[in-house]
Structure formats: C-alpha cells, structure tokens
Structure 1
Amino acid sequence: MPTNRTLTVNGLSIHIAEQGEGPLVLLLHGWPETSHSWRHQMQPLADAGYHVVAPDQRGYGRSDRPEESDQYTILHLVGDVVGLIDALGAKEAIIVGHDFGAPVAWTTAMLRPDLIRGVAGISFPPTQRSPVPPTSAFRQHFGDDFYFLYFQHPEIPEAEFTRDLRTTFRTLLGGDNTQPVSTQVPAGSGFLDLFTEPDVLPDWLTEQDIDVAVESFTRSGFTGGLNWYRNFDRNWSLLAPWQGATITPPALYLIGGADHISRAFTDPAAIADFASDLRGIIDIPEAGHWVQLQRPDDVNTALLDFFKQL
C-alpha cells in the first residue's frame, strides 16, 4: 500500500503518495485530479522494482496553493519536479504525466534532460511553441468559446465547479468520455454542460473515488488548478529561449482510442517532430480521456515495457 508524507519543495509543502524501492518514477496528475488518479499504477510499478511517487501538484489536494496566479507558470511546475527529485534523494527519474501533467513532464524532459531517464505522456502530446500567444491561437483555430478560454475567466469556472462538488465529479469523471463532445462553452453555459452526469457510475469508478475527489477539492478549491491554464500566454513568453528545442530523453505517448477531447485539438502524429527518441505512440482501444483509470492493465504494461528499455 502507498504511504503518504509531505516534502518541502521550493518553499512549498508538497504532499506525496509513494510505494516501492528502486529507480524513481514520478507520476504527475492532470486536471481536476490529485495523486489518487494513479491508484491503479502504484502497486504494479512498485512490484516491478520502482520507487513510485505521485505528488499532489501545487494548487491541488494536500499540497500548498499559492494565492498569486503567476506562481503557477510552467517553470514553477517544472521546478517542483526538479525539487522533488532532489528532495527524494535521487539523481534522475522517469516521469509520467497525464492530461495537464503531461506538458509538465514533456517540458521537464526538454529543459532538464540530465535529470530524466525517460518521459511518458498520457492524453496530451508535446507541442511546438506557437508563433503567437496561445490564447490568440485558440481564438483563431477554435473560436471564442473554446473551453481553455472559458477557464481564463476569474471566478466563473470556480463558481460552476464548486456549486455541487459531487455532481461536478460524477459528471467530469463518470460521464461517457468515449463519445465525441464539443469543446465549446457558449455564453450562458458552463463546461459541465458538455457532459452528462450518469445515473450509475462506470465500472472503473466508484462512489468512494468520488468521495476522495470531493474531499480533496473541498480542501483545495479549483483556483490553483485553473491557474495552470491561466498562465498559457505567460508560459509562451517564458519559453521563448527554447524556441525550436526538442525532447531528447527516450519518450512514449499513450492515448485512449476514444479520447475525443484530446484528439479534437492535438495531433499525436506530430510528436516525432518534437521528441527525437520517440519509442512509440500507443492507442489504448476503447478508452477515453481517463485512460489510466479505464484501462489500467494496458497502461501499466505499456509503461513497464517502456521502462525496461531505459
């Protein structure tokens, strides 16, 4: 079973769940998740001989939540990964990220390849820096109602998501995410309107899992996590010195075969242009966006096969 403790990283208290001994593997969750989203990976990876660590990243769960939105840039998030590696007494790590955790993993591998044995991204591929600020690119390609732009509004998405936390997580996590959905949030509607709350949760998600999410976000709120999105343009400016840089550590990409959200605005085929040592792009059949929860055995097998190559 995983154990829990708190580490001091870059002046913040970062909560981690950890299990096993051996080479360090960091599992980075996305939005709106916590370390609990890796509950099906901890034991199998630990049993395979790895020290598996899943943090609540800054702004989430039991970790600290700086108030200022500019404390959630990609450089802060990468800095937390670097700090975690050091605080855990390791010289290097394999990093795996899902959803928004994937850009953190990809960027860490790009900026600090000396620390990264290998990098795996799930549900979000690495992307080249755009020629214009991201919010401008989003408007150009997807229109003013694209949900990333909805997340830019202060307080509005927070009010939507906290109105009824149980409904929020039953809808976001338990709704059928294997069917095509819109990425548009028109004026007068909300992000949750893109999904339908199920009467009965899917077999890979329990009411106890919903309890964990409700408890976690009752404590943390949503602002910290949404501030990750609110730094898109700031990140674009900060990463200007790495324009054209590539990811050099061995890399793997996994995506659910029915993950229509990620496929709506990303191109997995372009990964090879960005990752110079790409070991594979793996589609997990019939899985949606929460692939590591829906098809844990397939994800664990793919990750361990990749780890063995490193």
Structure 2
Amino acid sequence: MRVELSEVTLDVEVSGEGPAVLLVHGFPDSHHLWRHQVAALNAAGFRTVAPTLRGFGASDRPEGGPEAYHPGKHVGDLVELLARLDLDRVHLVGHDWGSGIAQGLTQFFPDKVRSLSVLSVGHLASIRSAGWEQKQRSWYMLLFQLAGVAEDWLTRDDFANLRDMLGEHPDAEAVIEQLRAPGALTAALDIYRAGLPAEVQFDPEAPAVPLPESVPVMGVWSTGDRFLTERSMSGTGEYVSGSWRYERVEDAGHWLQLDQPEKVNELLLSFLKENS
C-alpha cells in the first residue's frame, strides 16, 4: 500500500493482526527484505508494518541532497507512519541502517517502543570502539561519502563492484535492478553522507547516547558478516540502560534474515513474546 506522509509517500506492507511489529530495512534494500519474518510473525499473532524507506525501492525520492535523507528524516517518517496507522506502541526491528534508524526512534520516542531488536548493526559508539578490524571493514563508508566517485565506482561495468560488495545477498540482482532507476543509487547513498560523515564515524569524543532503560534490547549478529565484527554488536550492551540480550547466528552473512530465516524468526518470536 502507498501511505502519504507530510514530505513523502512510502511503499508499505501491512499485514496480520495483533501487537504491531515495525520492521525497518537498511542499505540497499526495501521492505521485501522482511518477507520471511512477515509470514512467521503474522502466523504467530503479530501485525507487521514493513515500510520501504524514503529514497529506496518504490518509495519517494525527494530532492534536496543528502540532508533530505538524514537519519532524523527517516525517524520522522516512521513516527508519522505510526500515527497514520493509529499505532501507539510497537515492537521495533531494524537491520543495517534500519538498526541505526530504529535506535534513533527509540532514543527520542521511547514511549512508542515496546522492544528493540537490532540486527547486524549495533550502537554507533560500540562500532567506533570495536578496534582496527572494524575500521578496516568499514572502508566503504568513506568511499560512499564521495558524491559522484562512489556512484561511478559502484555502477562501473554494469554494477560489477556493487555486485561484488553484495556478494552473498540472496536478492542481489533484484536490488541492483531497483538501483538502475534515475537518482536511486544517489538517494540510497545519501543516508551515509548525511548520517555518517567521516567526523561522525571516527570521532572518539562524540557523545554516546545510551538506549533508554524502559526499552528491552536484543542484538543479533551473524558469523559470516563481512562488514561488522562481533565486538561491534556484543559491545552494544554497554550502551543499553535496560535489559540486554545478545544472540549470534551461525552460517549466515550480513543478510541473516534471508540466509537463516527460521533461526532469525525463532529469536524474534522468543524476544517479542517475552516483552509483549
């Protein structure tokens, strides 16, 4: 369904009945990423809301440069979406950039969040302090800052470099096809440019805002993730004021909800039922 908000119209999948779960994807995906979780959550008695974020997939791509895609803009879209759907509180699940956006929503609107599940990407302060290996794995975040250069590198030879980066992504070709649309790749990259400029990525003095005590948090990391170290997620517990649960998924890459859907579904259902 198409949901019109004050600044953008989002492509949103809403299904099922029961307590609501808001599923937030990351780069370079769409709500289709969550198809296995939607089916399992609906069958278990949960209502799912899976939006495609502004700048991605079939949702609007507003003009205005990187600032139009600042993580705060995405948080605002999600809060407005919940209001449009008459949802006061939700269980929140985020993957990749969706994890960062979900954490921002939780920090600024804790009364709207029953529980928070972060997949692959932990607290930014934990990523910053995770050591040299994590900095090596984050090389592409600096590349993505270079407007024009990053687009040229990623699309060269029919997206060969992006295809290599996506590697084990089961939906790689479908994702690349969406990024062929005019302006789509730049809009997707602009969340990095607005939300993670170099000074934010590496500033050791940047304030570490903890997640609120009222919201239980589960972090899930997969052993085959090429972009994030285990320490970057397991250390997130240091920045959680309330209850913290850490889980690792074996034999899965960065897109663990597609690689090991049954295991991810089992973990999510266990955590959501504990906190419903």
Normalising to structure 2: TM-score of the pair? 0.85
Separation in structure 2 between the aligned mates of residue 211 and residue 270 of structure 1, nearest angstrom: 33
> What does 1:120-139 align with in structure 2 at a 5 Å threshold?
120-128=117-125
The equivalent residue for 1:186 is: none
CA contact (8 A) 2:103 2:211 kept: no
Bigger Cα displacement from structure 2, 216-225 vs 110-119 = 216-225
Question: Which of 205, 213, 236 does residue 175 from structure 2 map onto?
Answer: 213
Q: Aligned partners of 1:54 and 1:160: how far apart in 2?
A: 31
TM-score by length of 1: 0.76
Of stretches 227-236 and 100-109 in structure 1, the one that deviates more from structure 2 is: 227-236
Q: Deviations over 1:108-159 (max 9, x none)?
A: 11111010111101000013399xxx8xxx99x948x922111000012222
1:151 aligns with 2:144: yes
- Amino acid in the other structure paired with 2:192: Y
Task: Figure out how many residues of one structure are paired with residues of the other and give that number.
Answer: 265
Structure 2 alignment gaps of length 5 or more: none
My pick for the range that moved more, 44-53 or 267-276, is 267-276
Alpha carbons of 1:304 and 1:164: their partners in 2 closer, same or farther (altered >3 Å)? farther
In structure 1, C-alpha distance between the alignment counterparts of 2:51 and 2:161, rounded to whole Å: 23
Query: Are residue 71 (structure 1) and residue 68 (structure 2) matched?
Result: yes
Structure number with the higher helix fraction is 2
- CA–CA separation in structure 1 for the residues paired with 2:126 and 2:253: 26
Paired with 2:87 and 2:135, the residues of 1 have a C-alpha distance of 42
| Root mean square deviation of aligned Cα | 3.0
Q: How far, CA to CA, are the matches of 2:75 and 2:193 in structure 1?
A: 16
1:94 maps to what in 2? 91
Please tell me whether the aligned partners of residues 224 and 251 of structure 2 are also in contact (alpha carbons under 8 angstroms). Answer: yes
Q: Is the 8 A contact 1:169 1:213 kept in 2?
A: no
Alignment identity in percent? 30
- CA–CA separation in structure 1 for the residues paired with 2:219 and 2:172: 27
1:24 aligns with 2:24: no
Q: Which residue of 55, 75, 89 corresponds with 2:51? A: 55
Which amino acid is the alignment partner of residue 217 of structure 1? L
Alpha-carbon offset, residue 259 of structure 1? 1.6
Q: Is the 8 Å Cα contact of residues 126 and 236 (structure 2) preserved in structure 1?
A: no
What residue ranges of structure 1 are gaps of 5+ in the alignment?
177-203
CA distance in 1, matches of 2:81, 2:160: 33
Cα 1:47–1:235 change in 2 (3 A) is farther
CA distance in 2, matches of 1:241, 1:7: 36
Tell whether 2:220 aligns with 1:251.
no
Runs (4+) of structure 1 moved beyond 6 Å? none
Q: SS at 1:128's partner residue?
A: helix
The structural deviation recorded for 1:41 is 1.0
Q: CA deviation at 1:255?
A: 0.7
Counterpart-to-counterpart distance in 2, 1:105 and 1:32: 16
1:281 matched to 2:246? The reply is: yes
Residue 270 of structure 1, CA deviation: 2.0
Q: What residue identity is the alignment partner of 1:269?
A: S
Is the radius of gyration larger for structure 1 or structure 2?
A: 1
